[in-house]
Chain A
């Protein structure tokens, strides 16, 4: 897996030296409360939050932004440059680029979010089991994770998607989206398993876990009531950034022709369709690419803002 590795080690940003606001000193303050206090003072958080809202509204209600039909094609207008009538111009098939770019948000966000959910579930379960059971199961699962990490991300996706949904085949909309989501999750779990594993190993020997065990709590209760809530922060941060990198990964696979295919409207497909027309009509490619990058940036920025706020070293 490529992009998101080592993300969790990074500490970024220039946090203002915050005097821990002594608002209500009588009440004990939790980690999330502290984090929120820092977050709401950060400009970068509000910028990324606003952008996130825009993209979510765009994905949920595309008709708010455009009343044009993204499927409607007039070949006579093929590759027309941007004008006041069509802000982003027309693509090769004479379809409105602005409308297609707006409608593309839904696909990207669905794929990014669901693939991340899959990764968190798969990686989280494997990581928690490995850390909790330990011994031979831990080494076995860690080795398997290494095997998956050893296969370069794009290569693994090419191999799986190339066999399941070859370039020339024409699978249905839902089918191909499901396959792409599953492939991203299957290739991405080892990093999350490592994060979950180390978080649980750190928490495992804490007094409160020992106390819970001494009181007779079963493994399920210990994991769900005690270990998971205390390991949630790093997983959450990684997941936010992963949504961004999966959106980029989806576009990359679509570009290679093995990801999403034409009946689906997506930024990656729009870019892929016009790579050969870079000299005559770059607009059909540049606008979707800009939206794609901005969307990835939004999730990465949000994740980093939350991480900075959670990191006690930077307080």
Chain B
């Protein structure tokens, strides 16, 4: 397993290089001047544009630029944004908040999603099953920002149960609603995946054997059925960490949270893309590592899976 993990880590390197190159290329080389909007409504003077291009190295060929980016990344130097604020310090301030929000969302996804899926899968066609299937379908069709604005309006403005926006420190209690919003889409998927695999596995031989041996229902479901049905849901939760980060951009924008997403939201509106490249590279790394973690967890859940 150790060797497998190391080989997978090595395989990450080309994908990571490709992705960061793609991001660098898209941010700096696509048509459109990155400094066009720096001077209000007027076009920028040439002197300013030339100075900025020289400062951010845009006058060099893309390969040289990419080489500088990699060198700086490995030495931990993420550069400054257009206003000369260190990118690394901005990331250090906002990263913990996004991690907290993301972990809460994953916890909500896993706990509520799997519970709902198991409940509806066990009583297929029953009342609870219908309620869960229909509500997950509805949740699935609501874009994240609609769920966000709806809950903000309902709970924050109409009922005044919570504050509509989150304070700068983003304490645990204020993040519950945003985390639920962030989790909502994947929550619905997780519930449906779990339901499907519970329904499929209930017909399998080992469950029949377990029941025939006279085991209690709790043991059959808890030990045999659940463990075997968790793999698809787990895969989904792991591989969707990347899309969770997409959702974080929206959710943090709506609830005014000072995380990575909020940072990105403001950077886009200020048309300052210096911060986009490091954030995007970081998010891609998170995505790839989450996928690796899922692959390693397979072996824990299902001992038949061997790593070669």
Contact = CB atoms under 8 A, between A and B. Distances in A.
Interface of A: 1-3, 5-7, 9-14, 143-144, 146-156, 158-160, 162-169, 244, 248-249, 251-252, 255-258, 271, 275, 278-279, 282, 285-286, 289, 292-294, 296-297, 300-301, 304, 313
B150 interface: yes
Contact of A255 (B26, B145, B240, B279): B145
B138 A297 contact: yes
Given A1-B243, A300-B137, A155 B280 contact: yes
B32 A164 contact: yes
Interface stretch (B11-19, B61-69, B218-226, B293-301): B11-19
28 contacts: A2-B240, A2-B247, A6-B189, A10-B192, A14-B124, A151-B280, A152-B243, A155-B276, A155-B283, A156-B26, A158-B249, A158-B276, A159-B23, A159-B26, A163-B30, A163-B34, A167-B271, A251-B145, A256-B253, A258-B268, A271-B145, A275-B149, A278-B152, A286-B153, A289-B149, A292-B143, A294-B141, A297-B141
Interface of B: 14-15, 18-19, 22-23, 26-27, 30-32, 34, 36-37, 124-125, 129-130, 133, 137-138, 140-146, 149-150, 152-153, 157, 164, 185, 189, 192-193, 195-196, 200, 232, 236, 239-240, 242-243, 245-247, 249-250, 253-254, 264-265, 268-269, 271, 273, 276, 279-280, 283-284, 287-288
A286 B153 CA distance: 10
A149 B124 CA distance: 34
Given A143-B14, A256-B268, A251 B143 contact: yes
Given A166-B37, A296-B143, A2 B264 contact: no
B23 A13 contact: no
Q: Give the interface SS of chain A, mostly helix, strand, loop or mixed.
A: helix
Given A151-B23, A258-B268, A279-B157, A252 B141 contact: no
The 7 closest A-B pairs by CB, nearest first: A2-B243, A297-B141, A248-B143, A154-B246, A163-B30, A152-B246, A296-B141
A177 B32 CA distance: 17
Of the listed residues A158, A164, A301, the one surrounded by the most CB atoms of chain B closer than 10 A to its CB is: A158
A244 B142 CA distance: 10
Contacts of A148: 22
A160 B280 CA distance: 13
Given A163-B26, A278-B157, 6 more contacts: A10-B193, A10-B196, A155-B245, A159-B273, A166-B32, A304-B137
A167 B129 CA distance: 45
Nearest to B130: A14
A134 B250 CA distance: 39
A155 B140 CA distance: 21
Contacts of B253: 256
B269 A13 contact: no
B241 to A, nearest CB: 9
Contacts of A154: 246-247, 249-250
B39 to A, nearest CB: 11
Nearest to B22: A147
